[in-house]
Amino acid sequence: MTGAEKIYSEAVFELAKEQSCADAIKDELDALAVVFKDNPELPKLLTAPTVTLDEKLDVVKNIFGGKVSELTYNLLCVTTEKGRAAIIPDVAEDYKNRWYEMKNIAEVKVTTSVPLSENLRAKLKAKLEAVYKKTVILTESVDPSIMGGIVLNYGNTLLDGSVKAKLDAIQKQIKGVIA
């Protein structure tokens, strides 16, 4: 991230709060991020030096005009005019983080070696909500290489309770004693 996405995100977020449409803008930016990631030619086109600004703005208008709010449309136009349309997914990510903060939501990434059962998922979510005092959204992934246990990632905090991490720690200890 360059820092520009934070500036755009903050400006859009503040305007969205003033206009009482922060939820709708989050949904639109999430959708835009998917569109930009699924269609990598779009940001390339919107930042190409060989395409005129008028042509780029026509593309934005044809694809998004009337389909997104005025605020989101203006963001697309401004980032296109400044040659920064490619940062839209990063703007969306930063906006989502601001929105989560406003709504008191914590997104916790959970990695396990096998999919969580419904019962374990509910217990984990309840425990994390009690610890963080926030509504928790679990983003789950399965990685058999961790062999067992669980890895939690929230913000700048990583809690690695995996079997692999414990075995690695034991291996380091043994090497320290032998060396």
Same domain, residue pair 121 and 55: no
Domain boundary among 68, 100, 132: 100
CA atoms within a 13 Å half-sphere pointing along the CA-CB vector of 104: 6
Same domain, residue pair 73 and 49: yes
- CATH at residue 149: 3.40.30
Q: Which residues of the chain have pLDDT under 70?
A: 1-2, 179
Same domain, residue pair 13 and 87: yes
Question: What amino acid occupies position 8?
Answer: Y
Please give the Cα distance from 86 to 97 (Å, whole number).
Answer: 19
Confidence (pLDDT) at 176: 85
CA distances from 97 to 63, 83, 85, 139 (A): 26, 24, 20, 14
Same domain, residue pair 46 and 73: yes
Neighbours of 18 (CB within 10 A): 9
Same domain, residue pair 18 and 85: yes
Confidence (pLDDT) at 1: 55
Please give the Cα distance from 109 to 96 (Å, whole number).
Answer: 15
Please give the residue range of the domain that contains residue 128.
105-178
Domain boundary among 100, 116, 143: 100
Same domain, residue pair 113 and 52: no
Same domain, residue pair 15 and 95: yes
pTM: 0.83
Same domain, residue pair 125 and 148: yes
Same domain, residue pair 18 and 89: yes
Q: Long-range CB contacts (< 8 A, 24+ apart) of 16-25?
A: 16/71, 17/102, 19/71, 21/69, 21/71, 22/99, 22/102, 23/99, 24/69, 25/69, 25/71, 25/72, 25/95
Confidence (pLDDT) at 154: 94
Same domain, residue pair 132 and 55: no
Tally the domains of the chain: 2
Same domain, residue pair 109 and 158: yes
Domain boundary among 42, 72, 100: 100
Confidence (pLDDT) at 81: 97
